[in-house]
Amino acid sequence: MPLTISSDLLVPDEDFEWKFIRASGPGGQNVNKVSSAVQLRFLLPQNTTLPAAVKQRLRRIAGQKLNDDGSILIFARSERSQDQNRREALARLEAMLREALIAPKIRKKTKPTRASKERRIDSKKKRSSTKRSRQGSWD
């Protein structure tokens, strides 16, 4: 089942590789028998549904989760069941993708107004006079 990010963006199943491994931690006797931890590999280089700008932002957001081959590796092992860990890994990837979809606002340079310049100069003059008035002869 493809991962739905928005109404017009789907990530197909072919872009995911799942690996199930044994998790450490809680689980009792079950922990040594069942591979409940999930390793989700999102194959970013072979993805064709994401625009190039989104892929670039996703690489930056992924940080250390980004592998040398360009894929994103997500581990989920906090839950006891494989299904819950699978859902958690998908939720983390979905959150990263949603964040990457938001294009950063471009900062526009603005000049300070004449009034703001005057306020700044007035405050500097006031501060200067305050400090000057403190200077006295300490003899």
Phi-psi region of 127 (alpha: psi -120 to 50; beta: other; left: phi over 0): alpha
What tens digit of pLDDT does each residue of 3-32 get? Answer: 777 767 777 778 888 888 877 766 666 666
Placement of tokens 């894929």 in the chain: 71
Question: Domains in the chain, start-ordered, CATH in brackets?
Answer: 3-100 (3.30.160.20)
pTM equals: 0.68
DSSP summary character for residue 46: T
Q: What is the pLDDT of residues 69-113, one digit of tens each?
A: 888 888 888 777 788 888 898 899 889 888 888 888 999 999 999
| Cα–Cα distance measured from residue 15 to residue 13, given in angstroms and rounded to the nearest whole number | 5
Separation CA 124–CA 84 (nearest Å): 60
The percentage of the chain sitting over the pLDDT mark of 90, rounded to a whole number, equals 22
